[in-house]
Amino acid sequence: MLIQDIIDDIKVRYPNQYSDEQLIKWINQVTEDNWEDLAVDEIYITQLEENKSVYNLPDTIDFSAITQVVVNEKEYTPKSLPDYKTNFVYFKESEGKIAVNPKPQGGEEMFIFHLHKPAKVQAATDDLRIRPQFAEIIKNAIFIMIAKAAGNVGLANNYVDDFNFAVQDSRQRKVLYSAAYPTIKDTRGK
């Protein structure tokens, strides 16, 4: 979804004097504060090499956004791996790496399921890469900011209710959509 679409809808639904630049700053603030509710599920696939046990995470994957790793049909989550010496997959968060133990024989595939954080936007022509229904979270958060700045507490409270509903709705939709429609990035053979 283009930022300009969000800005235009904000200006139509709640006319205000704020510049596009100010609205973009607020959009960035809201996406940073609520990124887990706005993130899109993605899968990164890589081919494991023989006797190579440590793999760098791509720059596009934030360690905190990893939800699951699957190797040889075994599922691992960052929270389920207290003992890195005995588990098949373990995480080295400080180094941005994932390690496989024991060393692979080659040919295995590693699937890294993660949430794609929306990027910080610079201009109204940028694409936020979120589903349209998740844009309501951003819009309602900005409506709250505008109403508070105008001193309209009652309207701000109404937008708080709308914001909370949009967050709850997005979480329910993510459960429905995440398993069925992730974005897949295949790096096998690269």
> DSSP string of 117-161?
PPPPP-STT-B----GGGHHHHHHHHHHHHHHHTT-HHHHHHHHH
Q: How far apart are CA 63 and CA 155, in angstroms?
A: 38
Share of the chain above pLDDT 90, in %: 32
Interval 121-147: pLDDT, tens: 899 998 877 777 788 999 999 999 999
Beta strands in 19-82 (DSSP E): 40-47, 54-56, 66-71, 74-76
Taking 70 as the pLDDT cut, the residues of the chain under it are 78-95, 102, 174-190
Q: What angle do CA 60, 89, 34 make, to 5 degrees?
A: 40
| pLDDT value of position 84 | 47
| pLDDT value of position 25 | 95
Q: What angle do CA 71, 116, 55 make, to 5 degrees?
A: 40
In the DSSP assignment, the letter for residue 15 is: -
Q: How far apart are CA 163 and CA 73, in angstroms?
A: 39
Instruction: Please give the single-letter amino acid code of residue 120.
Output: K
* Strand partners for 109: 47
Return the H-helix or E-strand segment holding 29.
helix 20-33
Determine if the pTM surpasses 0.85.
no
| pLDDT value of position 181 | 47
Considering the chain, what is the average pLDDT of its residues?
81
Question: How do the domains of the chain map onto residue ranges?
Answer: 3-38+118-178, 41-116
Q: How far apart are CA 52 and CA 23, in angstroms?
A: 47
| pLDDT value of position 26 | 95
Q: Helix or strand or coil: residue 66?
A: strand
Sheet of 54-56, strand order = 54-56, 97-100, 89-92
* Strand partners for 56: 97
As a whole number of angstroms, the longest Cα–Cα distance in the chain is 65
Q: What angle do CA 140, 145, 150 make, to 5 degrees?
A: 120
Nearest of 166, 98, 126, 110 to residue 23 by alpha carbon:
126
